């Protein structure tokens, strides 16, 4: 496993981490035994960064993780998030009021069964919250009290990421970055490198599209609360799969599959401290971690950039 520093936090973390949204059932039904096997395997492979959120299963992912980390809390750099409301009359809203964040942070600490969180992230705050929110004072007080060690943001838009870095208070920025979504490389990464803000790259496999294993027929599997049921539909899904097909040239030499190539691509950018693919089970965790074992040749990286810049058009 490769290790990098997480920006100005100084934390030394594995280049491949573990995202736990999948363990709350957001991508189809899960067995806790499989989730726990993924976590156990992560430790076995040298993975020391795990990312979760109070929004994943309305706290379920945090509870599962808290149980899994008993007796080995000191072996992991633990990150969670707050701000997305998943229960009650405000479900579906994002709240970053000082009192609310203070409350849900304490609830996360209880579910995670820990005295401190290594990295607490605001979960998709708006530009206005980033620039003017009183929530930063809550985070700083929590840091001084020892409840959290560092804080940052998880963002949806490039504008939010730019605002967070320019504001100067966030130590990290979590953003979607992958072979099909390379905007951060142009808009956020240069600023992050200059400011020494750690980048956490999420969705490196584009919800499974960049594993090279999905086909158009898989659309029928995405039902109910599966988040892919909303976006993996019809022509749009087929187009994304076609783009992934164009990227299979990356699979050669030491690179054994597209999943490995997709993760290695994210790790390769110097601004990226860690990539956090989800893993349903031990097998997927091993496959994801192997992305740290290979390098993408410069010629292939250049071709990827060219494909993206022309929208994967023929």
Residues, the chain: 314
Q: Is residue 57 part of a domain?
A: yes
Q: Is residue 297 part of a domain?
A: yes
In this prediction, residue 27 carries a pLDDT of 66
HSE-CB for 19 with a 13 A CA cutoff: 24
Instruction: Give the tokens for residue 56.
Output: 């994943």
In this prediction, residue 226 carries a pLDDT of 67
**DSSP notation for 54-116:** TTTTTTHHHHHHHHHTTT-GGG-EEEEEE-B--SSTTTT-B---HHHHHHHHHHHHHHHT-S-
Residue pLDDT, tens place only, 91-127: 777 889 999 999 999 999 999 999 999 999 999 999 9
Q: Is residue 237 part of a domain?
A: yes
Where residue 116 sits, what CATH number does that domain have? 3.20.20.100
Residue pLDDT, tens place only, 199-208: 999 999 998 8
Helix/strand/coil for 161: helix
Residues near 93 by beta carbon (within 8 Å), at least 6 away in sequence: 85
To which residue do tokens 């390098």 refer?
Answer: 295
d(CA 28, CA 71): 30
CA 202 to centroid of chain Cα atoms: 3
Q: What number is the average pLDDT over the span 292-314?
A: 91
CA 205 to centroid of chain Cα atoms: 10
Over 80: is that where the pLDDT of 232 sits? no
Q: Is residue 244 part of a domain?
A: yes
Q: What number is the average pLDDT over the span 13-40?
A: 85
- Count Cβ neighbours within 10 Å for each residue of 93-112 and write b for 16 or more, e otherwise: eebbeeebbbebbeebbebb
Q: Is residue 130 part of a domain?
A: yes
pLDDT, mean over the chain: 91
- More confident: 188 or 208: 188
HSE-CB for 260 with a 13 A CA cutoff: 17
Exposed/middle/buried for 67, CB within 10 Å: 0-12, 13-18, 19+?
middle
Over 90: is that where the pLDDT of 130 sits? yes
Q: What number is the average pLDDT over the span 235-240?
A: 84
The parent domain of residue 198 ranges over 3-309
Instruction: Give the tokens for residue 150.
Output: 């560092």
Task: Kindly state the percentage of the chain with pLDDT values over 90.
Answer: 76
Cβ pair 46, 1 in contact under 8 A: yes
Q: Is residue 314 part of a domain?
A: no
The H helix count followed by the E strand count for the chain is 13, 10
Cβ pair 78, 112 in contact under 8 A: yes
Q: Is residue 111 part of a domain?
A: yes
In this prediction, residue 314 carries a pLDDT of 67
In this prediction, residue 220 carries a pLDDT of 67
Domain count, the chain: 1
Q: What are the C-alpha distances in Å from 188 to residues 79, 159, 164, 197?
A: 21, 9, 10, 10
Over 80: is that where the pLDDT of 227 sits? no
Catalytic residues: 56
Contacts 24+ apart (CB under 8 A), 141-149: 142/102, 142/105, 146/115, 146/116, 147/105, 147/106, 147/109, 147/115, 147/116, 147/117, 148/105, 148/116, 148/117, 148/118, 148/119, 148/120, 149/9, 149/11, 149/116, 149/117, 149/118, 149/119
Q: What number is the average pLDDT over the span 206-232?
A: 76
Q: Is residue 31 part of a domain?
A: yes
């Amino acid at each position: 496993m490769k290790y990098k520093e997480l920006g100005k936090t100084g934390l030394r973390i594995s280049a491949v981490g573990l995202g736990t949204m999948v363990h709350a059932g957001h991508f189809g039904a899960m067995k806790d035994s499989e989730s726990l096997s993924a976590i156990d395997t992560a430790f076995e492979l040298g993975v020391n960064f795990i990312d979760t959120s109070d929004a994943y299963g309305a706290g379920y992912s945090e509870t599962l993780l808290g149980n899994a980390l008993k007796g080995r809390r000191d072996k992991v750099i633990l990150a969670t998030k707050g701000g997305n409301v998943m229960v009650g009359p405000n479900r579906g809203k994002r709240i970053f009021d000082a009192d609310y964040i203070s409350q849900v942070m304490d609830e996360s600490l209880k579910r995670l069964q820990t005295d401190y969180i290594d990295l607490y992230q605001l979960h998709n705050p708006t530009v206005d919250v980033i620039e003017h929110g009183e929530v930063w004072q809550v985070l700083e007080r929590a840091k001084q009290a020892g409840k959290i060690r560092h804080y940052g943001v998880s963002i949806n838009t490039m504008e939010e990421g730019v605002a967070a870095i320019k504001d100067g208070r966030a130590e990290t920025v979590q953003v979607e970055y992958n072979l099909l979504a390379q905007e951060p490389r142009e808009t956020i990464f240069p600023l992050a490198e200059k400011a020494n803000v750690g980048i956490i790259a999420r969705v490196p496999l584009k919800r499974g599209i960049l594993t090279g294993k999905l086909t158009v027929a898989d659309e029928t599997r995405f039902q109910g609360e599966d988040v892919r049921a909303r976006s993996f539909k019809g022509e749009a899904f087929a187009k994304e799969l076609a783009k992934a097909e164009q990227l299979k040239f990356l699979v050669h030499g030491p690179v054994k599959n597209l999943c490995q190539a997709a993760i290695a691509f994210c790790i390769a950018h110097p601004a990226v401290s860690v990539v956090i693919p989800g893993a349903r089970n031990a097998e997927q965790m091993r496959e994801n971690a192997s992305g740290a074992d290979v390098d993408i040749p410069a010629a292939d990286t250049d071709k990827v950039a060219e494909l993206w810049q022309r929208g994967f058009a023929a």
